[in-house]
Structure 1
């Protein structure tokens, strides 16, 4: 009969690929009729090749994708405690407001806080901005450009590097000496923390710069506190 050689194993040339499949190690221990179709292996190779090709295509499209060692937080105020800065100024921060944005090239989130109002006392406000660059490396433009608000115009002559924090970190003071900005670059992540002193004055509650810029707080101590709180935040956001 035509089918007998294939069933009995006497017609090896007629078996083609199935005969080759039987020669694989362990194949002879399979129960009769339970052989796995040979094309599963070909399908696996094709699938793996497709995944690899897709990965290469992404690398070709975005060859300079920076590393991201930190995660995005939809409410970074929950991660941002400012404990050390609060100790430096002798008051806790409150009035937390946050926002976020998630886009193809960049995710960002921010948090703003302020110390409670005390009549005649200097108040402190802080803002944190976390940017995760997913497409372009932010290193080339890191910490460039002055602030747009005259009250927060930076004094670049006082810039100093902060060692041991991210890939690069810099501290700048405002020209008006009423605040500081700490910026940290770590791979594709950019962290910006600003702390400013001010006093609320006038019947309309408008902000006015305080004549006593220091507010009784040593600027070096304040900036050291900013560094410690930034370090704690970055550790929390690590992947």
Structure 2
């Protein structure tokens, strides 16, 4: 038989089961009060960690960029197309007809190189020209500027003949070769280093006449003009 407590509505809290039913909502609310505040703190700590990592990364990039030199020039994948040594050709009376180009792109430095020459003609002076453009993206090249032979380890420079060239970049130097017929013009402008070298050779002449018929002043003026023209083309 069903007892009276069940018939008379004894389900409302009667016996241990009823007490458990009554206690359950309070226990749930108690657990909610205990657990509730934890979730926002965990999310906050996680957000702080992410923000700290992002801030540290931003500072690292900022520090790296703060020490990077200024670069006002674009990289050229075909430097011979950019410079045809036009003024030099006019100065020596013959155009540069042959050329080869190369280039490279790297995290620390981009570079482009062009080499041009002339076809042999009996009794004529043969000229060769080389242009090298280096874009230093991480390290300032000012401290080592023009301190070595550059792209040709065989070059011996007559430093007693070194001259400053005004109006080209931050600093420009013109050097004559020692023991060989040629000159080198180097320009420093921020993180960019541009090097133009010109050499000449007379197959039929002996060493004492190696510079016969060569107008050194005209060549120097042409080198400066061709360098100025290239810098204008590459400036961004």
| TM-score, length-scaled by structure 2 | 0.72
Normalized per residue, the structure richer in helix is 2
Find runs of 4+ consecutive structure 1 residues off by over 4 angstroms. 52-55, 208-211
**Which residue among 85, 94, 110 is the counterpart of 2:113?**
110
Q: 1:1-239 alignment to 2 at 5 Å?
A: 54-146=57-149, 148-149=153-154, 152-176=155-179, 178-200=181-203, 211-239=208-236
Distance between the aligned counterparts of 2:225 and 2:58, measured in 1?
A: 38
- What is the aligned length? 185
Distance between the aligned counterparts of 1:137 and 1:228, measured in 2?
A: 26
The answer to whether the 8 Å contact 1:169/1:183 transfers is yes
- The alpha-carbon deviation at position 162 of structure 1 amounts to 0.3
The answer to whether the 8 Å contact 1:160/1:171 transfers is yes
Distance between the aligned counterparts of 2:130 and 2:85, measured in 1?
A: 10
The answer to whether the 8 Å contact 2:169/2:188 transfers is yes
- The alpha-carbon deviation at position 106 of structure 1 amounts to 0.4
1:183 counterpart SS class: strand
- The alpha-carbon deviation at position 81 of structure 1 amounts to 1.7
- The alpha-carbon deviation at position 217 of structure 1 amounts to 2.6
The answer to whether the 8 Å contact 2:157/2:178 transfers is yes
Q: Which runs of 5+ in 1 are unaligned?
A: 1-45, 202-207
The answer to whether the 8 Å contact 2:176/2:183 transfers is yes
Larger Rg: 2
Deviations 1:175-216 (A, max 9, x none): 125110000000000000000001347xxxxxx975423342
- The alpha-carbon deviation at position 123 of structure 1 amounts to 0.1
What is the aligned-residue RMSD (CA, Å)?
Answer: 2.4
Distance between the aligned counterparts of 1:81 and 1:130, measured in 2?
A: 15
Of 167-176 and 57-66, more deviation after overlay is shown by 57-66
